[in-house]
Amino acid sequence: MSQSAKPSRTSTRSDAPVSAASTKAAAQRLKMRRELASAAMELFATKGYEATTVDEIAAAAGVARRTFFRHFRSKEEAIFPDHDDTLVRAEAVLTAAPPHEHPLDTVCRGIKEVMRMYAASPALSVERYRLTREVPALREREIASVARYERLFTRYLLGHFDEREHAGGSDDPLLAEVAASAVVTAHNHVLRRWLRAGGKGDVEAQLDHAFGIVRSAFGWGFAAGAPISSERPAATARAGDDVLVAVARTDAPLNEVMRTIQQALKEA
């Protein structure tokens, strides 16, 4: 009716994550959230995702249907309860990055937070993976979640390119987006392979290896240096254990190209 007096009752899911994080109430809230997520996964695993209603989840957790939706924005969120927090943590990694670190390495560390989130509970992740493969809605949901990380990384790279090798070219936004997508794709690939294998093995090591592959197929072995220019017409970088990559302007003096390569080989 009249919105005259009371904003008192208006806030749904107000500012739970912020402030007063260590209150007893917040702990209760977290516990309830875990309870619900656990009950949901249990039911999804046994009778399928679509065949499980929110009523049943709530009942299994001993609460009312309405309470479920106070803790999860949707039924889907109950199966991916950690993406929001992980996104925040990934962002924290970016903002706390040491100033000398290459942005692409920072981003790699950022996505590692996601990997760790999955690796923290392999059995759960594997079961969830099984569900996402056969329920289109969940698949799309996960794709959307991953896209959020990718956007975060793209923004970060875009804001940290100019300070370094890139001269702020008009193609920077494109490169930032492609680079972010490459990192995220490598992560997804390793993650899915690990999940298909049942969650066994050292994912983080596999992830680092994949980053190495991408780094060598991609061009950012040249990361630490300045751009190729008339003043610095040649540069080299390692791309894996056995391969050296050299980049040079075609008008570079040949002896300088040689010198650069020899220098790099000597350090090998």
Partner DNA sequence: GATCATGTGGCACCCAGTGCCGCAAATTCC
Partner DNA sequence: GGAATTTGCGGCACTGGGTGCCACATGATC
- Tell me which residues touch DNA (CB under 7 A): 6, 8-12, 14, 16, 23-25, 28-29, 32, 52-55, 58, 62-67, 69-71, 73-76
> Residue 69 or 222: which CB sits closer to DNA?
69
Q: Does 41 bind its own copies (CB under 8 A)?
A: no
Residue 188 contact partner, candidates DNA, its own copies, none, CB within 5 to 8 A by sort of partner: its own copies
Cα 32–Cα 73–Cα 189 angle in degrees, nearest 5: 95
User: How many chain residues bind its own copies (CB under 8 A)?
Assistant: 47
Residue 49, φ and ψ in degrees, nearest 5? -70, -50
Residue 214 contact partner, candidates its own copies, DNA, none, CB within 5 to 8 A by sort of partner: its own copies
Q: Does 185 bind its own copies (CB under 8 A)?
A: yes
Smallest distance from DNA to CB 141, Å: 10
The count of other CB atoms within 10 Å of the CB of residue 2 is 5
Q: Are 190 and 203 in contact (CB under 8 A)?
A: yes
| Rounded-to-integer distance, Cα 57 and Cα 59, Å | 5
> Residue 47 or 259: which CB sits closer to its own copies?
259
Smallest distance from its own copies to CB 54, Å: 19
- Report the site for its own copies in 92-151 (rule: CB under 8 A): 139-141, 143-144, 147
Q: Does 261 bind its own copies (CB under 8 A)?
A: yes
> Residue 80 or 156: which CB sits closer to DNA?
80
3-state secondary structure 22-51: CCHHHHHHHHHHHHHHHHHHHHHHHHCCCC
| Rounded-to-integer distance, Cα 203 and Cα 118, Å | 10
| Rounded-to-integer distance, Cα 115 and Cα 35, Å | 23
| Rounded-to-integer distance, Cα 244 and Cα 118, Å | 34
Q: Does 188 bind its own copies (CB under 8 A)?
A: yes
Residue 238, φ and ψ in degrees, nearest 5? -80, 140
**Three-class DSSP category at 52:** coil
Identify which range of 8-16, 51-59, 108-116, 166-174 contacts its own copies by CB under 8 A. Answer: 166-174
| Rounded-to-integer distance, Cα 218 and Cα 237, Å | 12
Binding region for its own copies (CB under 8 A): 139-141, 143-144, 147, 171, 173-175, 177-178, 181-182, 184-186, 188-190, 193, 210, 213-214, 216-219, 228, 239, 242-251, 254, 257-258, 261-262, 265, 268
